[in-house]
A and B are shown apart, each in its own frame.
Chain A
Amino acid sequence: MADHTHSSHHITSRKTYFFVFAALMVLTVLTWLVAQVDLGWANDLVALTIAFTKMMLVLLFFMHVRHSTRMTILTAAAGFFWLAIMLFYTLTDYFTRGASVLPVLGK
Chain B
Amino acid sequence: MASSPLTDTHGHGAHHHPALAHQFDSLDQQKESSTLGMWLFLVTEIMFFGGLFLAYVLYRGRYPEAFLQGSNTLNVWLGGLNTAVLIGSSWTMVLAIWAAQVNWRKGIVIFLILTMALGSTFLVVKAFEYHHKWEEHHIPGKLGMFFNSPFQFAGDEPQHVEIFFSLYFIMTGLHATHMVIGIGVLLVLTILAWKGHYGPEYYNPLEMAGLYWHFVDIVWIFLFPLLYLLGAHVH
Contacts and interface: CB of A to CB of B under 8 A. Distances in A.
A11 B59 CA distance: 44
15 contacts: A11-B98, A17-B91, A17-B98, A25-B84, A25-B87, A48-B225, A58-B221, A62-B91, A62-B210, A63-B214, A72-B39, A94-B61, A99-B62, A104-B163, A105-B162
Interface of B: 27-28, 31-32, 35-36, 39-40, 42-43, 46-47, 50-51, 53-54, 57-59, 61-62, 76, 80, 83-84, 87-88, 90-91, 93-95, 98, 101-102, 140-141, 159-160, 162-163, 166, 207, 210-211, 214-215, 217-218, 221-222, 224-226, 229-230, 232-234
B46 A80 contact: yes
Contact of A50 (B54, B102, B225): B225
Contacts of A62: 90-91, 93-94, 210, 214, 217
B217 A58 contact: yes
Nearest to A14: B98
B57 A91 contact: yes
A64 to B, nearest CB: 7
B91 A21 contact: yes
Interface string A74-102: 01101110110011001100110001001
Contacts of B27: 8
Contact of A24 (B31, B87, B207): B87
Contacts of B221: 51, 54-55, 58
Contacts of B47: 79, 82-83, 86
Interface in A46-65: 47-48, 50-51, 54-55, 58-59, 61-64
